[in-house]
Amino acid sequence: MSDKPKATRSSTRTKAQPAVLPTTSRTTRAKAATTTKSTATAVPPSLPPPPPKKSAARKPLVNRGNTDASDPPSKPPSKTTATGRKGTKIVNTFDNEREPIMAYLRIRPALTDDDSTTSPYLTPLSDTTVRMADPQDHQNLASRFRSSNITPSSTYTFSHVFPPATSQSDFFTKTTLPLVRDALEGQNALLFTYGVTNSGKTYTVQGGSSEGSAGIVPRTLDVLFNSIDGLQGDSRYRPVRLHGVELADASDSKAPPVAPEPGLEGVLDQMNSLSLNDLDIDTTAIKLDRNYEYSIWLSYAEIYNEKVYDLLDSVKDTQGTRVNAFPQSNSSSSLVLARTALAIKPSPLSDSQDASITGKYIAGLRQFRVHNASQAKSLVKLGQLHRRVFGTLANRESSRSHGMVVIKIMRCHRGEKNDPTAVQISRLTLVDLAGSERTKHTHTTGDRLKEAGNINKSLMVLGQCLETLRSNQKRLAVSLSQDGEGKDGRMDTRDVKRGLAIVPFRHSKLTEVLMDYFIGDGRTVVIVNVNPYDTGYDENSHVMKFAALAREVYTTPAPAPVHQAPVITGPGKLQGKVIKKLGPLTLNDPEVVPKPFGRKVTLSMGGGSSKKQSEAVVEVLEVDETQDKSNTDEDDDDDMTINPFVDELFDEIEYLRLQLFEAEMRCAIIEADTREEVMREMEERMANMEQMYRKRLMKEIEQNELKTDAKIDMLHQSGLFASPVKKPTRPIADDISEDEEDEEEIDRSLISEETEEQSTSGEEFDFGSDQDQDDDDSAASGSPLSGKGKASVRNSITKRQSTAPREIRESLAFVPDAPMVPSDTEDAAMSDEDEDEDEDEEESTATISEDEEDSEAEENDDEDEDEYVPDPVPKLRTKSAPRVSSPSPTRKSAQAKFLTSKTQASALEQEMDNMTINDGGGAPRASSTGAKKPRRVLGKTPIVTADQMDAVAMAIDKRIAQSGGGANVRRLRLS
Ligand SMILES: Nc1ncnc2c1ncn2[C@@H]1O[C@H](COP(=O)(O)OP(=O)(O)OP(=O)(O)O)[C@@H](O)[C@H]1O
State pLDDT tens for residues 595-610.
Answer: 455 555 555 544 444 4
Q: If you measure from the C-alpha of residue 203 to the centroid of ligand 1, how many angstroms do you get, rounded to a whole number?
A: 5
Q: Alpha helix locations (H) across 761-819?
A: 771-781, 788-803, 806-813
Q: Cα(382)–Cα(299) distance, rounded to whole angstroms?
A: 11
H/E element, 910: helix 889-914
Q: Nearest Cα to 95, choosing from 502, 493, 501?
A: 493
Q: Name the residue at shortest CA distance from atom 4 of ligand 1.
A: 109
Identify the residue with better confidence: 652 or 939: 652
Of 104, 106, 107, 108, best ligand 1 pocket probe by most atoms within 8 Å of the beta carbon: 108
Q: Name the residue at shortest CA distance from atom 15 of ligand 1.
A: 200
Q: Look up the pTM and report it.
A: 0.54
Q: Could you identify the atom of ligand 1 that is nearest to the CA of residue 398?
A: 26
Q: Could you identify the atom of ligand 1 that is nearest to the CA of residue 168?
A: 1
Q: Cα(560)–Cα(7) distance, rounded to whole angstroms?
A: 10
The DSSP output letter for 95 is T
Q: Could you identify the atom of ligand 1 that is nearest to the CA of residue 164?
A: 1
Model pLDDT, residue 621: 65
Min mean pLDDT across 85-94, 441-450, 839-848, 919-928 is at 85-94
Which protein residues touch ligand 1 with a CB less than 6 Å away?
108-109, 111, 195, 197-203, 208, 398-399, 435, 529
Residue 95 exposure: Cα atoms within 13 Å on the Cβ side? 22
Question: Chain-wide mean pLDDT for the chain?
Answer: 63
Model pLDDT, residue 193: 94
Q: If you measure from the C-alpha of residue 208 to the centroid of ligand 1, how many angstroms do you get, rounded to a whole number?
A: 8
Per-residue CA distances from 878 to 624, 801, 872, 891 (Å): 99, 13, 10, 18
Q: Cα(538)–Cα(536) distance, rounded to whole angstroms?
A: 6
Q: Name the residue at shortest CA distance from atom 1 of ligand 1.
A: 108
761 labeled part of a ligand binding site: no
Q: If you measure from the C-alpha of residue 223 to the centroid of ligand 1, how many angstroms do you get, rounded to a whole number?
A: 23
Percentage of the chain exceeding pLDDT 70: 41
Q: Cα(791)–Cα(778) distance, rounded to whole angstroms?
A: 11
Model pLDDT, residue 247: 75
Model pLDDT, residue 953: 74
149 labeled part of a ligand binding site: no
ipTM: 0.98
Model pLDDT, residue 682: 95
Q: If you measure from the C-alpha of residue 117 to the centroid of ligand 1, how many angstroms do you get, rounded to a whole number?
A: 19
Of 111, 122, 458, 531, best ligand 1 pocket probe by most atoms within 8 Å of the beta carbon: 111
Q: If you measure from the C-alpha of residue 125 to the centroid of ligand 1, how many angstroms do you get, rounded to a whole number?
A: 23
The pLDDT tens digits for 775-807 are 444 444 444 344 444 444 445 444 444 444 454
Q: Name the residue at shortest CA distance from atom 16 of ligand 1.
A: 200
Residue 159 has pLDDT above 80, yes or no: yes
Residue 454 has pLDDT above 50, yes or no: no
State the average pLDDT over residues 660-664.
82
Contacts of 84 (CB under 8 A, 6+ apart): 90, 481, 482, 484, 485
Residue 655 has pLDDT above 60, yes or no: yes
The letter for the amino acid at 813 is A
What is the pLDDT confidence band of residue 905, given thresholds at 50, 70 and 90? low
What is the pLDDT confidence band of residue 523, given thresholds at 50, 70 and 90? confident
What is the pLDDT confidence band of residue 517, given thresholds at 50, 70 and 90? confident
Q: Could you identify the atom of ligand 1 that is nearest to the CA of residue 206?
A: 18
Q: If you measure from the C-alpha of residue 923 to the centroid of ligand 1, how many angstroms do you get, rounded to a whole number?
A: 107
Q: Name the residue at shortest CA distance from atom 9 of ligand 1.
A: 200
Residue 752 has pLDDT above 90, yes or no: no
3-state secondary structure of 436: coil
Per-residue CA distances from 46 to 52, 73, 103, 166 (Å): 17, 17, 12, 12
Q: Name the residue at shortest CA distance from atom 14 of ligand 1.
A: 198
Of 198, 277, 459, best ligand 1 pocket probe by most atoms within 8 Å of the beta carbon: 198
Q: If you measure from the C-alpha of residue 200 to the centroid of ligand 1, how many angstroms do you get, rounded to a whole number?
A: 3
556 labeled part of a ligand binding site: no
Q: If you measure from the C-alpha of residue 115 to the centroid of ligand 1, how many angstroms do you get, rounded to a whole number?
A: 14
Per-residue HEC secondary structure of 822-847 comes to: CCHHHHHHHHCCCHHHHHHHHHHHHC
3-state secondary structure of 296: strand
577 labeled part of a ligand binding site: no
Other beta carbons within 10 Å of 613:
11
State the average pLDDT over residues 245-262.
58
Which of 110-114, 667-671, 716-720, 819-823 shows the highest mean pLDDT? 667-671
The DSSP output letter for 163 is -
781 labeled part of a ligand binding site: no
Of 171, 203, 456, best ligand 1 pocket probe by most atoms within 8 Å of the beta carbon: 203
Please give the distance of CA 939 from its chain centroid, rounded to a whole number: 86
Q: Could you identify the atom of ligand 1 that is nearest to the CA of residue 399?
A: 27
Identify the residue with better confidence: 214 or 447: 214
What is the pLDDT confidence band of residue 809, given thresholds at 50, 70 and 90? very low
Q: Name the residue at shortest CA distance from atom 10 of ligand 1.
A: 200
330 labeled part of a ligand binding site: no
Contact 790, 914 (CB under 8 A): no
Q: Name the residue at shortest CA distance from atom 27 of ligand 1.
A: 399
- What angle do helix axes 850-867 and 644-717 make, rounded to 10 degrees? 60
Cα angle 288, 406, 349; round to 5:
95
Contact 538, 569 (CB under 8 A): no
Please give the distance of CA 114 from its chain centroid, rounded to a whole number: 24
The pLDDT tens digits for 56-72 are 333 333 333 333 333 33
Q: If you measure from the C-alpha of residue 529 to the centroid of ligand 1, how many angstroms do you get, rounded to a whole number?
A: 9
Q: Alpha helix locations (H) across 484-536?
A: 493-498, 509-518
Cα angle 755, 760, 763; round to 5:
70
Strand segments (E) across 146-242 = 153-157, 160-162, 189-195, 237-240
Residue 119 exposure: Cα atoms within 13 Å on the Cβ side? 7
Q: Cα(968)–Cα(383) distance, rounded to whole angstroms?
A: 100
Which of 101-115, 236-250, 597-611 shows the highest mean pLDDT? 101-115
Q: Could you identify the atom of ligand 1 that is nearest to the CA of residue 435?
A: 25
Residue length of the chain = 975
Q: Cα(582)–Cα(292) distance, rounded to whole angstroms?
A: 34
Q: Name the residue at shortest CA distance from atom 6 of ligand 1.
A: 200
Q: Nearest Cα to 632, choosing from 561, 577, 575?
A: 577
Min mean pLDDT across 394-408, 517-531, 906-920 is at 906-920
The pLDDT tens digits for 585-596 are 333 333 333 445
Q: If you measure from the C-alpha of residue 199 to the centroid of ligand 1, how many angstroms do you get, rounded to a whole number?
A: 5
Residue 831 has phi, psi (to 5 degrees) of -65, -20
The pLDDT tens digits for 60-107 are 333 333 333 333 333 333 333 333 333 333 334 344 467 788 999 999
Q: Cα(593)–Cα(457) distance, rounded to whole angstroms?
A: 25
Q: Could you identify the atom of ligand 1 that is nearest to the CA of residue 197?
A: 25
**For the residues of 346-395, what is the DSSP string, one character each?**
EPPGGGSS-TT---EEETT---EEE-SHHHHHHHHHHHHHHHHHHTGGGS
Q: Cα(555)–Cα(540) distance, rounded to whole angstroms?
A: 25
Model pLDDT, residue 686: 95
Q: Name the residue at shortest CA distance from atom 8 of ligand 1.
A: 200
**For the residues of 565-590, what is the DSSP string, one character each?**
S-----HHHHHHHHHHHHS---TT-T
Model pLDDT, residue 396: 45
Q: Cα(883)–Cα(864) distance, rounded to whole angstroms?
A: 16
Q: Cα(717)–Cα(397) distance, rounded to whole angstroms?
A: 86
Contact 953, 747 (CB under 8 A): no
H/E element, 636: helix 633-640
198 labeled part of a ligand binding site: yes
Residue 418 has pLDDT above 70, yes or no: yes
Model pLDDT, residue 950: 77
Residue 961 exposure: Cα atoms within 13 Å on the Cβ side? 7
State the average pLDDT over residues 12-32.
34
Q: If you measure from the C-alpha of residue 528 to the centroid of ligand 1, how many angstroms do you get, rounded to a whole number?
A: 13
Of 167, 192, 202, best ligand 1 pocket probe by most atoms within 8 Å of the beta carbon: 202
The pLDDT tens digits for 824-877 are 444 444 444 444 444 444 444 444 444 444 444 444 444 444 444 444 444 444
Q: Name the residue at shortest CA distance from atom 12 of ligand 1.
A: 200
Contacts of 102 (CB under 8 A, 6+ apart): 66, 67, 68, 159, 175, 523, 524, 525, 526, 551
Model pLDDT, residue 355: 58
598 labeled part of a ligand binding site: no
3-state class percentages of the chain: helix first, strand second, coil last, to nearest 5: 45, 15, 40
State the average pLDDT over residues 741-763.
52
Q: Could you identify the atom of ligand 1 that is nearest to the CA of residue 529?
A: 21
Q: Could you identify the atom of ligand 1 that is nearest to the CA of residue 166?
A: 1
The DSSP output letter for 880 is G
Percentage of the chain exceeding pLDDT 90: 11
Min mean pLDDT across 626-635, 915-924, 942-951 is at 915-924
Identify the residue with better confidence: 181 or 29: 181
Q: Cα(683)–Cα(151) distance, rounded to whole angstroms?
A: 26
